[in-house]
Structure 1
Amino acid sequence: MEEKKKESRESEIKEEEFEEHFPVLSREMREGKKNISESEMRTVTGSKKYRKFQGYIPGAVDFICRCETEEEAMEIIEYMLKKGDLTEEYANILKNQLKEKGLEFFGEHRAPGYYEKM
């Protein structure tokens, strides 16, 4: 019987300590709050789970911006045209812009990890 009283007192002390160190969490546990919104979720690194580009499907210009050379960009355009992701007309527009204005015309270079940083 004495041992149960001792355990009970130790438990109360631990609860008080927990309350002192984690007041919001303690309150949520008492109130029974179990769900958190997606905006409250954090990944292991501490950044918000939601990403700006989550679900975003990159287009031709996005892929061109990842290229290091104009030759790579031309290959991307040809590949997307062959695959059916670009019309002949739009592919020709992109090719002409690339030849006349260069790779820089499409925007800053997007290095690996660009979208994860957003």
Structure 2
Amino acid sequence: MAYQVSLPDGSTLALPLPDDAQDVSLQSLTSLIEGLTEKGTHTIAVEFECGACCKKVLNGKKLIVIPVLNVLVLLPAPGQFLILKFFCDGCLVEKQRMRAIIIRLDNVKAVEIGAEQIDP
């Protein structure tokens, strides 16, 4: 069994699921997230740990939680990029653009709905 994720470029990412995965829990989480994000009208940001440092990914439009794999998938709007900021010792170390990101749920510190990037 696999969980199909549509990527912004039109391709599909197939994530394998264990045979005992329950679709009901996936549907419930997806419904909750769609309700919180008003079906994609707000941007989504996720803050997560990476060792001793912190990463924050911004400009998400679709958040998919896959509890049986212990991951979440964040996608931007079609034609857009996610923005990843990497912080270490309180300083911005690096920025990246990407089409999708898969994050272990154990590392997630915050999910922000309606988040906008504001730089000084």
- Do the two structures share a fold, i.e. TM-score over 0.5? no
TM-score (norm 1): 0.21
Give the number of the structure with larger relative contact order, counting CA–CA contacts within 8 Å between residues 6 or more apart. Answer: 2
| Larger helix fraction of residues | 1
Greater strand fraction, Structure 1 or Structure 2: 2
